[in-house]
Amino acid sequence: MLGRKVIMEESDIVKRIRKNNTREKEIVQALEKNDGIAWEEDEVAYMEGRIYMPNNKELKEEILREHHNPADIRHLGQQRMLELLKRNYWWPGLKEDVKRYVQCCFKCQQNKVLHQRKAGELHPLEIPQGLWQEISIDIIGPLPKSNGMDVIVVIVDQFTKMICLKATMTNVSSEGIAKIYKDNIWKLHRIPRRILSDRGLQFASKFMEEFTRALGTKRQLLTAYHPQTDGQMERINQEIGTFL
């Protein structure tokens, strides 16, 4: 059983804690057990020998600031700041509050040493000069079957942002994709100068390579799930997913 005597300086913080008589359920339940783990003395609650901090935003922020910002403390990291606080204080969610405070500290983020390679520069795609000159294509699925179809082919005009959606099956072949091009894009608009896609089997096949070469269309295979290569398609896929 922990000793019930706690030596502490009668600080302004303690006086303000005494005036705030709110109790959260964790401390109330611990006090009701009366097993020596938690107790109340001079209108101040204690948990395992540490002062219980009521759920008061201003008080908590002040305590966090005093244990992080002073020059003699020098902006401790999360773990060391938590250890320092736990010497005297306790409240539910203390660890999460320390993490948030350190992560939001401007000086800490400004002086933080990165232990990873610097990210490479982005290389955005060229802006097309006309309608349906450049298109992106992707497949969303598998989805719950409807009329035998379980995926959606998404085709986007890079210039107008116009979207064409076509339902098909998971095992759609390169020939099936070519037919979707013919019936939904070329017949209504034009044969594009360039087609952007990921490296799915339907798009990276030898058939598709020969097919686009015969049409005079440049095929550009991108890395899947990388918005820095085709962020427009990734964003549209997110919106379609939300709608579904």
Which pLDDT score, from 0 to 100, does residue 1 have?
39
Average pLDDT over residues 195-220: 88
Q: Cβ(196)–Cβ(222) under 8 Å?
A: yes
More confident residue, 2 or 92: 92
Span(s) in the chain for CATH 3.30.420.10? 134-243
End-to-end CA distance of the chain: 58
Q: The domain 134-243: what is its CATH number?
A: 3.30.420.10
- Section 29-38 average pLDDT: 89
Contacts of 117 (CB under 8 A, 6+ apart): none
Q: In angstroms, what CA-CA distances link 84 with 18, 67, 94, 112, 238?
A: 22, 7, 12, 20, 44
pLDDT of residue 5: 39
Which whole-number Å values give the CA distances from 125 to 131, 134, 157, 171, 199, in the listed order?
16, 11, 13, 30, 17
d(C-alpha 129, C-alpha 126), whole Å = 9
Residue 121's pLDDT band (cuts 50, 70, 90)? low
CA dihedral 78, 81, 84, 89 (to 10 degrees): -90
Predicted pLDDT of residue 43: 85
Q: What pLDDT score was predicted for residue 9?
A: 45
Residue type present at position 61: E
Task: List, in order, residues 6 or more apart from 96 with CB less than 8 Å away.
Answer: none
Domain with CATH 1.10.340.70 in the chain: 12-111
pTM for this entry:
0.48
Structure tokens at 185: 């894009």
What separation in angstroms does the CA of 199 have from each of 97, 125, 191?
44, 17, 21
The angle subtended at Cα 143 by Cα 156 and Cα 180, nearest 5°, is 40
- Nearest-angstrom CA–CA distance, 191 and 207: 17
Classify domain 12-111 at the CATH topology level: Endonuclease III; domain 1 (1.10.340)
Q: What CA–CA distance (Å, rounded) separates 61 from 56?
A: 9
Structure token pair of residue 207: 């058939």
Instruction: Write down the pLDDT at residue 222.
Output: 77
pLDDT digits (tens, 9 = 90+) for 135-180: 888 888 888 888 889 999 999 998 888 999 999 998 889 999 999 9
Contact 227, 235 (CB under 8 A): yes
Alpha-carbon distance of 157 to 159, in angstroms, equals 5
